[in-house]
């Protein structure tokens, strides 16, 4: 039982992590890595804390600060003390049609060139909501 408690306390100390670099709207770097047991493919929540403390209206007791979600992502690269998180949300798929002429001997035998049409689905990552240095990240 004490080991479970120690592990939980260690995790509370290890996380939340802090965003230390914003590469672009879809990719950030956090100050946790292999030394903190972060692994590639692990999913994280990015957020910032509200400035206003939330209090229970009846007891007046502090309930903490609201987590304002900025997105979710997956660890794509782990170093000893830092890791890269990339957005894992995919936006609506857009279809792209690619047309090209083929001049295969078979088509020549049938009367010349033929146009081939291919539908290529494309997807794009949904960016995080204004990621900033100092924002928080925690495993989910």
pLDDT value, residue 52: 95
User: For 14-57, how does the pLDDT look when each residue is reduced to its tens digit (9 = 90+)?
Assistant: 899 999 999 999 999 999 999 999 999 999 999 999 999 999 99
Note down the domain range covering 112: 91-124
CB 135 within 8 A of CB 47: yes
The verdict on 70 and 44 lying in the same domain is: yes
Domain count, the chain: 2
Q: Is residue 111 located within the same domain as residue 129? A: no
Average pLDDT score, the chain:
84
pLDDT at 110 over 80: no
Q: 23 and 79: one domain? A: yes
110 and 69 co-located in one domain: no
Predicted local confidence at residue 109, as pLDDT = 57
Q: Do 100 and 64 lie in a common domain?
A: no
**Residues forming beta bridges with residue 49, ordered by sequence position:** 67
Rounded to the nearest 10°, the torsion over CA 18, 19, 20, 23 is 170
Q: Are residues 74 and 99 in the same domain?
A: no
Both 120 and 130 in a single domain?
no
pLDDT at 6: 47
């Amino acid at each position: 039982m004490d080991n479970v408690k120690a592990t939980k306390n260690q995790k509370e100390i290890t996380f939340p992590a802090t965003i230390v670099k914003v590469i672009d709207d879809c990719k950030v770097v956090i100050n946790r890595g292999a030394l903190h047991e972060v692994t590639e493919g692990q999913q994280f929540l990015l957020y910032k804390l509200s400035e206003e403390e939330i209090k229970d209206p009846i007891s007046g007791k502090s309930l903490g600060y609201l987590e304002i979600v900025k997105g979710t992502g997956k660890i794509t690269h782990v170093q000893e003390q830092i890791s890269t998180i990339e957005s894992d949300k995919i936006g609506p798929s857009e279809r792209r049609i690619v047309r090209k002429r083929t001049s295969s001997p078979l088509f020549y035998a049938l009367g010349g060139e033929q146009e081939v049409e291919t539908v290529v689905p494309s997807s794009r990552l949904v960016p995080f909501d204004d990621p900033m240095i100092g924002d928080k990240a925690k495993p989910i």
